[in-house]
Structure 1
C-alpha cells in the first residue's frame, strides 16, 4: 500500500524543476511558433537585464496554472552561454517548473524576427499563438487584465 501511495504521489506531484534552458536556434523556431493543436501557446520572451521580466513570468505562470489548456514556454533572449545564470534566475524566482529556451544563434536580431516579425527586441514580450493560427503580442509589464485580453 505504501508503494502505491508513493507512486501516486510522484505521478501527481508537479515537477520540482524543469530542465535547464534548452538551445533555441533558427532551425527550431518554426516548431516553437507553430500553433498548438488546441488552446493557446504563450511565449514569454525575457532577458537577464529586464526589469519587469520576472513579474511577467510569474503572472503568466499563475495564469497557466488556472488554464491548463495553455502551454507556456519561457524564451530567454540571452545566449546559451548564460545558461547557468538563466537557470539560477528562474530557480531563485521559483519559476523553474516551466519549459525554457535560450538563444543559440549568433544573430539575436534574426531570432527576434523569426519569432515575431513585428517585434523590435524589447523585453518583456509576450506572444500568444492560438490553435486557429491567430496571434497576439504585447511588450511591457503585464497585469491580470492584460493577460486575460491576450489569452481569452
Structure 2
C-alpha cells in the first residue's frame, strides 16, 4: 500500500499546474536581472493581483505587438506565494506569458521592496526604466501608453491608448 500511496502522491504533484516560466524573486534577483540585461534598455514593472490599476496596466502591456518591445519588459508580481496561481492566470488572461516574469518568493515583501528600492513604500503599480545612457528612473502609478511607448521606443496605438 505504501508504494501505491507514494505513486499517487507523485502523480498528483505532476498534475498540479506548473509555474516553470515564472522565476522566484528573492533578495538577489534584481541584481541578477540587471546583470543579465546590462547594456540594454528595459522596463521593470511591479504589480499585484489586488491592484486594480495594475490590471489596467497589464491590459495595456498585453496590447503590445512589437516583439522587441515585449522582450524589454520584465514583470514582477509582488504577491505572496499563496497568490502565485492567481498571478499566473492574469498573465495568461492578458497575453503576457511570453514576457520575462518573476514573482516574490517570500511572505516578507518589505524586505524585497527594500532591496528593489529603499525609497519605495509599496505603492503599485511601480515601474523602473533602465536606459543605458541614464540612471534608473522610478515611476509610481499607472503607466500611460505615451510614457510606455517612449520608454520602450515604440508607438502604442489602438483603442484606449490616448
Question: Do both share a fold (TM > 0.5)?
Answer: yes
Tell me the distance in 2 between the aligned counterparts of 1:72 and 1:89. Answer: 16
Which of the pair is proportionally richer in strand? 1
TM-superposed CA distance for 1:73, in Å, is 1.0
Aligned length: 135
Shift in alpha-carbon separation, 1:148–1:88, aligned structure 2, 3 A: closer
Q: Please give the TM-score of this superposition, normalised by the length of structure 1.
A: 0.73
Q: Which residue of 2 aligns with 1:76?
A: 77
- The two structures, once aligned, show a CA RMSD in angstroms of 2.6
Unaligned runs of 5+ in 1: 1-17
Question: Relative contact order (alpha carbons < 8 A, sep ≥ 6): 1 or 2 greater?
Answer: 1
**Higher Cα radius of gyration:** 2
Q: Please give the TM-score of this superposition, normalised by the length of structure 2.
A: 0.69
Unaligned runs of 5+ in 2: 1-18, 154-162
Deviations 1:66-116 (A, max 9, x none): 654962111000022322111111112222221211111232112112112
Shift in alpha-carbon separation, 1:112–1:33, aligned structure 2, 3 A: farther
Q: Which residue of 2 aligns with 1:44?
A: 45
Q: Which residue of 2 aligns with 1:59?
A: 60
Q: Which residue of 2 aligns with 1:28?
A: 29
